[in-house]
Amino acid sequence: MKHMIFGESHGPAIGVTLSGVPAGIPLDLAEIAFEMGRRAPGKSQLSTARREADEPQIISGFFEGKTTGTPLCALIQNTDQHSGDYSQLKRMPRPGHGDYLGYLRYDGCNDYRGGGHFSGRLTAPLVFAGAVAKQILAREGISVGAHIRAVAGVEETSFLDVPLNPGLLREIAEKPFPVCDDGRGASMQQAILDAKADCDSVGGIIECAVLGLPAGVGSPDYGENVEGLLAQQLFAVPAVKGVEFGRGFAMAGLRGSQCNDPIQVRNGEITLTRNASGGVNGGITNGMPVVFSVVMRPTPSIAREQDTVDLETGENVKLTIQGRHDPCIVHRAVPVIEAAAALAICELLGI
Amino acid sequence: MKHMIFGESHGPAIGVTLSGVPAGIPLDLAEIAFEMGRRAPGKSQLSTARREADEPQIISGFFEGKTTGTPLCALIQNTDQHSGDYSQLKRMPRPGHGDYLGYLRYDGCNDYRGGGHFSGRLTAPLVFAGAVAKQILAREGISVGAHIRAVAGVEETSFLDVPLNPGLLREIAEKPFPVCDDGRGASMQQAILDAKADCDSVGGIIECAVLGLPAGVGSPDYGENVEGLLAQQLFAVPAVKGVEFGRGFAMAGLRGSQCNDPIQVRNGEITLTRNASGGVNGGITNGMPVVFSVVMRPTPSIAREQDTVDLETGENVKLTIQGRHDPCIVHRAVPVIEAAAALAICELLGI
Amino acid sequence: MKHMIFGESHGPAIGVTLSGVPAGIPLDLAEIAFEMGRRAPGKSQLSTARREADEPQIISGFFEGKTTGTPLCALIQNTDQHSGDYSQLKRMPRPGHGDYLGYLRYDGCNDYRGGGHFSGRLTAPLVFAGAVAKQILAREGISVGAHIRAVAGVEETSFLDVPLNPGLLREIAEKPFPVCDDGRGASMQQAILDAKADCDSVGGIIECAVLGLPAGVGSPDYGENVEGLLAQQLFAVPAVKGVEFGRGFAMAGLRGSQCNDPIQVRNGEITLTRNASGGVNGGITNGMPVVFSVVMRPTPSIAREQDTVDLETGENVKLTIQGRHDPCIVHRAVPVIEAAAALAICELLGI
Amino acid sequence: MKHMIFGESHGPAIGVTLSGVPAGIPLDLAEIAFEMGRRAPGKSQLSTARREADEPQIISGFFEGKTTGTPLCALIQNTDQHSGDYSQLKRMPRPGHGDYLGYLRYDGCNDYRGGGHFSGRLTAPLVFAGAVAKQILAREGISVGAHIRAVAGVEETSFLDVPLNPGLLREIAEKPFPVCDDGRGASMQQAILDAKADCDSVGGIIECAVLGLPAGVGSPDYGENVEGLLAQQLFAVPAVKGVEFGRGFAMAGLRGSQCNDPIQVRNGEITLTRNASGGVNGGITNGMPVVFSVVMRPTPSIAREQDTVDLETGENVKLTIQGRHDPCIVHRAVPVIEAAAALAICELLGI
Q: Is the pLDDT of residue D49 over 70?
A: no
User: Mean of the pLDDT values across residues A25-35?
Assistant: 97
Q: CA A171 from chain center: how many Å? A: 18
The DSSP symbol for D172 reads: H
Question: Is C110 an 8 Å CB contact of chain A?
Answer: yes
Give the per-residue pLDDT at C88. 81
Residue C294 β-bridge partners: C206, C243
In sequence order, what are the residues at sequence separation of 6 or more whose Cβ sits closer than 8 angstroms to the Cβ of residue A329?
A47, A120, A239, A296, A299
Residues of D in contact with B63 (CB under 8 A): 8, 11, 109-111, 116
**CA separation for the pair B238, B227 (Å, rounded):** 19
Using CB atoms, list chains with 3+ pairs below 8 Å to chain A: B, C, D
> Does the CB of B12 have a partner CB in chain D at under 8 Å?
yes
Cα nearest neighbour of C226 on chain D: D235
Give tens-digit pLDDT for B114-153. Answer: 899 999 999 999 999 999 999 999 999 999 999 999 999 9
Interface test with C, best of D2, D233, D257, D293 (most C CBs within 10 A): D257
pLDDT of residue B52 exceeding 70, the answer is: no
Question: What contacts B269, CB < 8 A, 6 or more positions away?
Answer: none
Q: Work out the pLDDT band at D312, boundaries 50, 70, 90.
A: very high
Residue C80 has pLDDT above 80, yes or no: no
- For chain A, what is the mean pLDDT? 94
Q: Which helix (H) or strand (E) holds A48?
A: none
CA distance C87 to C84: 9
User: Looking at beta carbons, which residues of chain A come within 8 Å of B121?
Assistant: none
**A70-98: b (≥16 Cβ within 10 Å) or e:** bbbbbbbbbeeeeeeeeebbbbbbbbbbb
Q: Flag whether pLDDT at C84 surpasses 80.
A: no
- pLDDT at position C129 over 70: yes
What is the rounded end-to-end Cα distance, in angstroms, of chain D? 6
The C-alpha atoms of residue D146 and residue C111 are separated, in whole angstroms, by 37
Q: CB contact, 8 Å: D2 with chain C?
A: no
Does B50 score more than 70 pLDDT?
Answer: no
Which helix (H) or strand (E) segment is A171 a member of?
helix A166-173
Quick: pLDDT tens for D50-62: 666 689 999 999 9
Q: What is the pTM of this model?
A: 0.96
Q: For the residues A220-237, what does the mean pLDDT come to? A: 97
Q: Give the nearest partner residue to A221 out of D19, D224, D350, using CB atoms.
A: D19
Assign A104 to helix, strand or coil: helix
State the best of C21, C58, C68 to mutate against chain A, taking most chain A CBs within 10 Å.
C68
D19, D21, D217, D284, best to mutate vs chain A, most A CBs in 10 Å: D19
* Three-state SS at A127: helix
Contacts of A111 in chain C (CB under 8 A): 63, 68, 70
Q: What is the pLDDT of residue C90?
A: 84
- Asked if B270 lies within 8 A of A309 by C-beta distance, the reply is yes
Report the residue of chain B nearest A100, measured CA to CA.
B286
In whole angstroms, what is the distance from residue A131 CA to residue B51 CA? 52
**pLDDT for residue B322:** 80
pLDDT attached to residue B18: 98
Would you state the pLDDT for residue D143? 98
Q: Which residues of C touch A5 (CB under 8 A)?
A: 71
For C248-288, write each residue's pLDDT tens digit.
999 999 999 999 999 999 999 999 999 999 999 999 999 99
Residue C325, pLDDT score: 81
Residues of chain B neighbouring C61 (CB-CB closer than 8 A): none
> Per residue in D81-112, pLDDT tens?
665 667 787 899 999 998 899 999 999 999 99
Burial of C2 (0-12, 13-18, 19+ CB in 10 A): middle
pLDDT band, residue D132 (cuts 50/70/90):
very high
Mean model confidence pLDDT for chain C: 94
Interface of B with A in 169-228 (CB under 8 A): 195, 198, 200-205, 215-223, 225, 227-228
pLDDT tier at B49, thresholds 50, 70, 90: low
At residue B65, the 3 state secondary structure works out as coil
Task: Mark yes or no for CB contact A221/D350 under 8 Å.
Answer: no
Query: Is there a contact between B75 and D15 (Cβ–Cβ < 8 Å)?
Result: no
CB contact under 8 A, D221 and A70: yes
- What is chain A's alpha carbon radius of gyration, rounded to the nearest angstrom? 21
| Spatial CB neighbours of A160, under 8 Å, sequence gap ≥ 6 | A246, A247, A275, A276, A278, A291
For the segment C130-179, what is each residue's pLDDT rounded down to a tens digit? Answer: 999 999 999 999 999 999 999 999 999 999 999 999 999 999 999 999 99
pLDDT band at residue C50 under the 50/70/90 scheme = low
ipTM here: 0.96
pLDDT category of residue B83 using cuts at 50, 70 and 90: low
Which of A44-48's residues contact partners 24+ apart within 8 Å by CB, and which partners?
A44/A176, A45/A193, A45/A196, A46/A177, A46/A189, A46/A192, A46/A193, A46/A326, A46/A327, A46/A328, A46/A331, A47/A326, A47/A329, A47/A331, A47/A332, A48/A324, A48/A325, A48/A326
pLDDT at D224: 95
Query: Is C51's pLDDT higher than 70?
Result: no
**Which candidate from A71, A219, A350 shows the least CB-CB separation from D350?**
A350
Higher pLDDT, residue D69 or A82: D69
C-beta of residue C162 within 8 angstroms of C-beta of residue C180:
yes
Q: Which of A297, A325, A119 is nearest to B255 (CA)?
A: A297
Quick one: pLDDT at residue C21?
97
DSSP string, C298-315: PPS--SS-EEEEETTTTE
Higher pLDDT, D234 or A85: D234
Q: Which residue of A has its CA nearest to C26?
A: A109
C70 pLDDT more than 80: yes
**How many beta-carbon pairs under 8 angstroms link A with D?**
14
* Residue range B96-107, pLDDT digits in tens: 998 899 999 999
pLDDT digits (tens, 9 = 90+) for D181-229: 999 999 999 999 999 999 999 999 999 999 999 999 999 999 999 999 9
Chain D residues whose CB is inside 8 A of the B69 CB are 105-107, 109-110
The residues in D 316-345 lying below 8 A from C, measured between CB atoms, are: 316
pLDDT number for residue A82? 64
Q: Contact at 8 Å (CB) between D280 and D226?
A: yes
Q: Give residue-wise pLDDT tens across range A54-64.
A: 899 999 999 99
Beta strands in chain D (DSSP E): 2-7, 13-19, 57-60, 62-63, 66-67, 72-77, 143-151, 154-155, 204-211, 240-245, 263-266, 269-272, 280-281, 284-285, 290-296, 306-310, 315-319
Shortest distance, CA A350 to any CA of chain D (angstroms): 8
Task: Examine the pLDDT at C186 and tell me if it is beyond 90.
Answer: yes
Helices (DSSP H) in chain B: which residue ranges? 29-39, 87-91, 99-105, 123-138, 166-173, 182-197, 226-234, 256-259, 330-348
Give A73 to chain B, closest Cα distance, Å: 17
Give the span between the Cα atoms of B73 and C284, in whole angstroms: 22
User: What is the residue type of C306?
Assistant: Q
Whether B89 has a pLDDT exceeding 90, the answer reads: no
| Contact between chains at A306 and B260 (C-beta distance less than 8 A) | yes
Predicted local distance difference test score (pLDDT) of residue C81? 66
Please answer yes or no on whether A70 and D220 come within 8 Å at the CB atom.
yes
| Contact between chains at C202 and D287 (C-beta distance less than 8 A) | no
Q: Is the pLDDT of residue A38 over 80?
A: yes
Angle at A85 between CA A83 and CA A90, to 5 degrees: 115
Interchain proximity D23–B72, CB inside 8 Å: no
Share of chain A above pLDDT 90, in %: 89
Interchain CB contact of C271 with A (< 8 Å): no
* Predicted pLDDT at D46: 76
Which range in A129-143, D29-43, D80-94 is most confidently predicted, on average pLDDT? A129-143
Q: Is the pLDDT of residue B80 over 70?
A: no
pLDDT of residue B46: 76
Q: Give the DSSP letter string of A265-326.
A: EETTEEEES--TTTTEETTEE-SS-EEEEEEEPPPS--SS-EEEEETTTTEEEEE---S---
- Nearest of B246, B239, B176, B181 to residue B208 by alpha carbon: B246
C350: nearest CA partner in chain B: B350
